[in-house]
Amino acid sequence: MGLTDLLFSLFLSFLKIGLFGFGGGYAMLPLIQREVVDLHGWISVSDFTDIVAISQTTPGPIAFNSATYIGYTAVTGMGFSQGYGVLGSAICTLAVSLPSLVIMTIVCAFFFRLKNNPWMQASLSVLKPAIIGLIASAALMLMNGYNFIDYKSWIIFGVVLLASLKKVDPILLIVLSGVAGLFLYPA
């Protein structure tokens, strides 16, 4: 695959992600995973989980973070230079934010008519529960053999789940589980 083909399909994929990424954040994960891991195979499943982890510990929305990261790794992974990698990540970030720009410009023009529009309320009444289902599927899809290698993984999962329900800071939890991984999995 040539460089322009690769950049073009990256652009299209992230345009799709931006256009159908309702609910933001975690609700976009199944969509990103499907496009990037299942359909095109630009990165592996464990790489994808690593991106989510990196997103949690760096500023900014997950959609941008994954677009920037995947843009870079997909291009350099195909054997192109780092400069093209930067270009790839710029294209992906632009593509994921382009639908928002168009839609929000329209929304701002018709804001007051949209606010109480019954059609919009009607579609949201089903869309909102569906988004919860999408987030749940993001968690279920990541519960696989790559991320859960043995019983120790499940212990970490349980502890972090409980701590997170008790409102412990997610960044702290990621740092602590990284330290736990260092001790639980000797070289």
- Distance CA(50)–CA(30), nearest Å, equals 15
> Residue 3 or residue 46: which is nearer to other proteins going by CB?
46
Task: Return contacts of 6-9, CB within 8 angstroms, 24+ apart.
Answer: 6/74, 6/75, 6/78, 6/80, 6/88, 7/75, 7/87, 7/88, 7/91, 9/40
Smallest distance, other proteins to C-beta of residue 177, A:
4
CA–chain centroid gap for 32, Å, is 6
Count of Cβ atoms closer than 10 Å to residue 17 Cβ: 23
Smallest distance, other proteins to C-beta of residue 113, A:
12
Q: What tokens appear for 31 in the block? A: 């969509």
Smallest distance, other proteins to C-beta of residue 74, A:
10
- Distance CA(45)–CA(49), nearest Å, equals 6
Smallest distance, other proteins to C-beta of residue 2, A:
22
Supply the DSSP symbol for 186.
-
Smallest distance, other proteins to C-beta of residue 6, A:
16
